[in-house]
Amino acid sequence: QQQQQQQQQQTQSLPPTPQLLMFVDLGLTDFYLPGKSYNIHMACCHYKSPKLLIGYEYYDCAINMWSVACMLAGLLFGGEPFFWGKDSEGQLGKIVSILKTRDFLPYCRKCNVRLSSKCRAVMRRYCAKASSSSPLSSEEALLLDNDMWIWKSWLSFLSLACPIPSPEALELSDKLLVYDHEQRWTAWEALWRLFFD
């Protein structure tokens, strides 16, 4: 009994064991080769990169950084998942409602992707001023829509229950949650930031 009491006292005086969190999903693991097309029907909808949602098949590791950014945003702003769409079109609408259209349509043009009619319908719902009766094409109307042009601060998405994120966390969100995969930070670039110190 005395020995058990001593062990309990020693156990109580030890600091708690750090918790380890691991993300593993090797279901569709592949080597990324430039110029090779890949399946766009992969990844969980809420963490899917805009590149996959617009149907662009020539992607690379940048789609993984988008998924990391979605998880980070969910943790920072108290909404997991951060972008919550029912399906691929709804997911794209949620992303556009937060990140706005200023960079989205030029990105679609850069990828040489024309939005499906379903995607355009969802975008119209998120862009109140864009209408089918507009003399502009639906893409131009979306691009010029003032409501969808103005970016809100990340802090406007903060849940009341969450602490205010550090400037380093906000910077990381800014650099990872971007449409253009070539502008998005790589894992290497992100790991060198103060957020991970």
- Determine what percent of the chain is predicted with pLDDT higher than 90: 14
CB-based contact 78:113 (threshold 8 Å): no
Question: What is the maximal distance between C-alpha atoms in the chain?
Answer: 87
Assess whether pLDDT exceeds 90 at residue 59. Answer: no
pLDDT at 142 over 70: no
Burial class (CB in 10 A: 0-12, 13-18, 19+), 165: buried
Q: Is-contact 160 38, C-beta < 8 A?
A: no
Rounded average pLDDT over 94-121: 84
pLDDT attached to residue 176? 94
Tell me how far apart the alpha carbons of residues 130 and 104 are, in angstroms, rounded to a whole number.
Answer: 15
Residue 16 pLDDT:
64
Q: What is the mean pLDDT of the chain?
A: 77
User: Is residue 124 pLDDT above 90, yes or no?
Assistant: no
d(CA 149, CA 152): 10
Task: Give me the mean pLDDT over the 134-152 stretch.
Answer: 51
43, 63 Cβ separation under 8 angstroms: yes
In this prediction, residue 12 carries a pLDDT of: 60
Residue percentage of the chain with pLDDT more than 70: 72
Give the pTM. 0.74
